[in-house]
């Protein structure tokens, strides 16, 4: 470092003045120069220490921000997972509304069949003539016919006609 070279020069100058006539004046001058170099060295050390403290604080701040970002990322990933599950559930209920009914009070409850003897409108417990079962069978046949009609409409809507080259 330049400060150490200056100190070496000062030391050599002091040695050369010891043998000369004007040694005392030159010695005072070199001692003042030595004091200035030492003061400059101390100031530089203080500046370096201050800079190190600032860098350490900014590093701590960056680590805290990175940790907070990681926490937020985990929360967003969990939210995305829940939204994806809800999306899949809604798509399934839109594509196959006849298969199940979701309990509105408990969104995570298991799905139950739409048509059973207990919850089919107009169906009664089967009597000796089986009228309740016949009625349920007729309703299921109507639903099946309606589904086939809807499938044909969807197939017609999604069919792409490619014009042939002339």
pLDDT (tens digit per residue) in 13-60? 766 766 655 667 777 888 999 999 999 999 999 999 999 999 999 999
Q: Would the pTM count as exceeding 0.85?
A: no
**Which region holds residue 122: left if phi is over 0, alpha if psi is between -120 and 50, else beta?**
left
Asked if residues 111 and 101 have their Cβ atoms less than 8 Å apart, the reply is: yes
Q: Three-state DSSP class for 20?
A: coil
Asked if residues 61 and 34 have their Cβ atoms less than 8 Å apart, the reply is: no
The answer to the question of residue 128 being in a domain is yes
The answer to the question of residue 161 being in a domain is no
**How is the chain split among helix, strand and coil, in percent rounded to 5?**
70, 0, 30
Quote the tokens at residue 6: 């200056």
The answer to the question of residue 117 being in a domain is yes
pLDDT at 104: 42
Number of domains in the chain: 2
Question: What would the mean pLDDT of 135-163 be, rounded to a whole number?
Answer: 81
Taking Cα atoms as reference points, which of 106, 137, 136 lies closest to residue 119?
A: 136
Rounded to 5 degrees, what are φ and ψ at 152?
-65, -40
The answer to the question of residue 162 being in a domain is no
- The domain containing residue 138 runs over which residues? 112-154
pLDDT at 20: 59
Asked if residues 131 and 124 have their Cβ atoms less than 8 Å apart, the reply is: yes
């Amino acid at each position: 470092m330049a400060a150490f070279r200056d100190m070496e020069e000062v030391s050599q100058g002091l040695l050369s003045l010891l043998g000369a006539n004007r040694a005392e004046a030159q010695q005072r001058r070199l001692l003042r120069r030595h004091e200035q170099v030492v003061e400059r060295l101390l100031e530089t050390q203080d500046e370096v220490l201050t800079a190190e403290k600032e860098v350490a604080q900014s590093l701590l701040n960056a680590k805290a921000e990175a940790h907070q970002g990681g926490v937020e990322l985990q929360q967003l990933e969990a939210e995305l997972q829940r939204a994806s599950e809800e999306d899949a559930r809604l798509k399934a209920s839109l594509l196959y509304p006849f298969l199940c009914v979701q309990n509105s009070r408990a969104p995570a409850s298991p799905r139950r069949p739409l048509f059973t003897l207990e919850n089919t409108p107009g169906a009664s417990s089967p009597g000796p003539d089986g009228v309740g079962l016949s009625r349920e069978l007729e309703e299921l046949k109507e639903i099946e016919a309606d589904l086939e009609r809807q499938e044909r409409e969807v197939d017609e809507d999604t069919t792409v006609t490619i014009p042939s080259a002339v």
